[in-house]
Amino acid sequence: MTKSFRELQMYNNFNELADDVLQFAHEILPHQMLYLSAIEKEKQLIFKIANKKADIPMTDGMILDLNHSLCSLVDFEKKIPLVLENIPAEGDLAGLNEALEQANVRSYLGMPIVLTNGEAFGTLCAINDEVSLYEERNIELLQRIVRLFLYYLELERFAWKDALTGLYNRRYLSKHFEDHPHHAGALFFLDLDGFKRVNDVFGHEVGDRVLQEVARRLQQFAGEYPHAHAVRLGGDEFVLHFAHQGEREEWEQLATRILMSLSIWESAYRVSTSIGILMYSEENDQPVETLLQQADVALYAAKASGKNTYQFYKALTN
């Protein structure tokens, strides 16, 4: 299960609400098989199904290649439902026709679930092993259900993510360590060099754009690892957390790449970063706040040594 899919498990009462959404949808379309899905990159998680049909091979928790799913044809940008009432009579459906025939899917209604920032969350779908008629009134009712579900998703998202950058927040980092107390990993504590001057000279609006771009670059680094995430602690302080055992050489190479990435700007302002790195073992029993304090000690040393560099905490304490 990928990072975003695991995040859903942290949402309060998520399973109960998903059940309610599908129950409401079932009252509107009682003869349809219904499911909620979440998408991330090229994957689709079918996390809840209602009114299962024995001849349609779909199960709770199934992860699909999005490119081999009808949901890939949903217009998330315009938030327009995909309505296919008679799939056998349709033309080419991105090469999916044969697979749909084998799966006994004869009709499909896909409702896009799109967050306010434009990010596609997933779909509420109805499928059937028979040709179906999806009345406009029923589609409108399902769209209302999707909007209510979105209100809930946004509230949960704001609880765990930073509003400006979309990165995880300190609360999420603490929750992660509470839920996974015994694992090896590394914390990269980053503080931007020269950011105050950006705000003073170019204004806070430009400063916000810089923070958003830094977040985007850090998210790319986190995306290279299956168990990593980027966090904004506040201001111009960020954390990259890697929840796997790594050798010092690996972290040195990564830190060098991060320093290079965050020191290249096409604009007039000059921004770089300093990094404090803490490696910890599976025997670690310290709270995340203590680990952050130790990483911050290393960060301070990096700042003191000239900035735009990194230091390891253990190297400072040996």
Give the tokens for residue 292: 């952050």
246 CB burial (10 A radius; 0-12, 13-18, 19+)? middle
Q: Inter-axis angle of helices 170-179 and 288-304, to 10 degrees?
A: 130
Residue 48 · residue 35 · CB < 8 Å? yes
Cα four-point dihedral sign 45, 50, 56, 61 = positive
Buried/exposed code over 57-96 (b: 16+ C-beta within 10 A; e: otherwise)? ebeeeebbebeebbbbebebeeeebbebeebeeeeebeeb
Alpha helices in the chain (DSSP H): 3-8, 14-28, 97-102, 136-160, 170-179, 195-202, 204-222, 248-261, 288-304, 313-317
Give the active site residue among 65, 236, 285, 296: 236
Residue 251 · residue 259 · CB < 8 Å? no
| Sheet with 43-50: strands ordered across | 62-65, 43-50, 33-40, 120-128, 107-114, 82-84
CB atoms within 10 A of CB 153: 20
Find the helix or strand (DSSP H, E) in which 43 lies. Answer: strand 43-50
* 191 catalytic residue (yes or no): no
- What is the set of active-site residues? 236
